Amino acid sequence: MDFLGLYFLQLALIGGPSVALGSSGWDCLRAGDTCSSDDSCSPRLRTLRQCVAGDGSVKLGPGARSQCENAMTALLATPLHGCQCKRGMKKEKNCLSIYWSLHQSGLVLHGLSLVEDYPYEPEERGSDYVRLASIAAESEVTTVNRCLDAAKACNIDETCQKTRTEYVSACIQPSVRSGPCNRPRCNKALRKFFDRVPPDYTHELLFCPCTDTACAERRRQTIVPTCSYEEKEKPNCLAQLRVCRADYVCRSRWAQFQFDCQPSDLSSSGCKQENYGACLLAYTGLIGSTITPNYLDNSTSNVGPWCSCAASGNHREECNDFLEFFHDNVCLKNAIIAFGNGSDVKSGSSRAGIASFAPATRTTPGYHRPSSLHGNRAEHPQSTDTTQVNENDRLWGDEEDSTLPSPGLSEHGAAPVHMGLALGWLLPVLLLLLSHQ
């Protein structure tokens, strides 16, 4: 692609989807800030958050119930309704807690589940795509093994190389307290990798097509299964899902995955949302969570979380539904196959360049949320100037926000991480090879 082409591509990326996005969704943190600086909104949100405390398990008396309903009805007419969060954003957990306060109360009060809604804004990413398009275009000429090419491409990109080295180091480092590896640290680093690195790199690493078991085994090892999720015994899936739902981030990733990978017999793609890129992105959003999915073996491309439905008692069906969403999901399967054989983007000149549009295209055809959700947003113009809002006026502090990968990540293992960085990708790869002989 020549420079003029790149220039127009960049214009299209920056000018197009972001403008469309900017005029629609509200960030829930901003919506929460606006609400907390409003004398009538603020107490209602406080009330609502009490209503849904403890995952709605608290039985509400008739008085409390009507108070909750009033608060909810009033809040539906504010920007809180329809607000969303950005995956991997700063204070993601705070943002999601605001998102769920409204969505959860619908469930608690009316048994109403807003299935057609999802917590995360469609991805929009900047000029990283442009750079990758040219890298991938170069390698396309000489491609022999896409999985190895993906690793090379990742090493050329600073963010990809750095965060990948970080997670591999975190996931193979023994710890005195937690044994062979420190799972929480490993998962945190994995989430950072999949949240920060453009999907062009991450998808190529994780969904590159394999024709032999050695390749498939390496692909399965990408997320360091022994540390990130494997245990001697497979736990019960519903128990895992319960843990997941108790965490705002995991619950949101799961909700997003259900939305974006929802299978459909009526569509030729197999996906209700008709967007393979979004489905794969939602899939990687689960990696590093309680229900981390991965390839089940080294001879197929079947994926699923590390859990079983044995001993589910009379919740067997619910458990099977959960597992089938991975094992037997035509949308997810097609998304992986199509990515592998390149048929997801067959009309374009540059595979990676076009693939990168996939997450953004959802803003146009797929961004139809039920009209009730948009509600009276237009009738309630609120100040969008968040700089007016004193940080202290926020309803929630930072103390909850533990999911965000921080620079302090390497606190307990500074030396190996630095060594890993110095040796670039070589060290992790060597260690991986050694540890999986």
Among 69, 217, 247, 274, binds ligand NAG (CB under 6 A): 217
Angle among Cα 408, 412, 418 to the nearest 5 degrees reads 75
Which residues is 2 bridged to in the sheet? none
Stretch that binds ligand NAG, among 145-153, 238-246, 285-293, 338-346 (CB under 6 A): 338-346
Between residues 187 and 334, which has the closer beta carbon with respect to ligand NAG?
334
Between residues 75 and 271, which has the closer beta carbon with respect to ligand NAG?
271
Between residues 216 and 291, which has the closer beta carbon with respect to ligand NAG?
216
Stretch that binds ligand NAG, among 238-246, 337-345, 394-402, 406-414 (CB under 6 A): 337-345
Helix locations, 83-182, DSSP H: 92-110, 128-142, 146-156, 158-172
Contacts (Cβ under 8 Å, ≥6 apart) of 431: 168, 172
Stretch that binds ligand NAG, among 23-31, 169-177, 212-220, 401-409 (CB under 6 A): 212-220
Stretch that binds ligand NAG, among 76-84, 330-338, 373-381, 413-421 (CB under 6 A): 330-338
Between residues 53 and 433, which has the closer beta carbon with respect to ligand NAG?
433
HEC-encoded secondary structure of 241-308: HHHHHCCHHHHHHHHHHHHHCCECCCCCCCECCCCHHHHHHHHHCCCCCCCCEEECCCCCCCEEECCE
Among 298, 301, 302, 320, binds ligand NAG (CB under 6 A): 298
Count of beta carbons in the 10 Å neighbourhood of residue 8: 12
**Shortest separation between residue 36's beta carbon and ligand NAG, angstroms:** 48
**Shortest separation between residue 203's beta carbon and ligand NAG, angstroms:** 16
Q: Does 224 contact ligand NAG by CB under 6 A?
A: no
Q: Does 343 contact ligand NAG by CB under 6 A?
A: yes
3-state DSSP assignment of residue 72: helix
Between residues 197 and 216, which has the closer beta carbon with respect to ligand NAG?
216
Among 66, 113, 143, 341, binds ligand NAG (CB under 6 A): 341
**Shortest separation between residue 224's beta carbon and ligand NAG, angstroms:** 15
395-421: string of b/e by CB count within 10 Å (b at 16+)?
bbeeeebebbbeeebbeebeebbeebe
Q: Token pair for residue 352? A: 């990676």
Between residues 52 and 216, which has the closer beta carbon with respect to ligand NAG?
216
Between residues 100 and 229, which has the closer beta carbon with respect to ligand NAG?
229
- The footprint of ligand NAG on this chain (CB under 6 A) covers a number of residues equal to 9
Q: Does 64 contact ligand NAG by CB under 6 A?
A: no
Q: Does 432 contact ligand NAG by CB under 6 A?
A: no
Between residues 268 and 371, which has the closer beta carbon with respect to ligand NAG?
268
Q: Does 214 contact ligand NAG by CB under 6 A?
A: yes
Residue 278 CA to residue 265 CA, distance in Å, equals 18
Closest CA to 87 of 78, 95, 79: 95
**Shortest separation between residue 298's beta carbon and ligand NAG, angstroms:** 4
Residue 156 CA to residue 89 CA, distance in Å, equals 24
Between residues 117 and 217, which has the closer beta carbon with respect to ligand NAG?
217
Count of beta carbons in the 10 Å neighbourhood of residue 263: 19
Between residues 296 and 421, which has the closer beta carbon with respect to ligand NAG?
296
Among 73, 178, 213, 383, binds ligand NAG (CB under 6 A): 213
Residue 206 to residues 184, 284, 293, 312, 343: CA-CA distances in angstroms? 21, 9, 12, 31, 17
**Shortest separation between residue 433's beta carbon and ligand NAG, angstroms:** 11
Residue 272 CA to residue 366 CA, distance in Å, equals 10
Residue 436 to residues 82, 166, 220, 304, 430: CA-CA distances in angstroms? 47, 19, 12, 21, 10
Residue 77 CA to residue 315 CA, distance in Å, equals 38
3-state DSSP assignment of residue 115: coil
Question: Under the rule (CB under 6 A), what is the footprint of ligand NAG?
Answer: 213-214, 217, 298, 334, 337-338, 341, 343
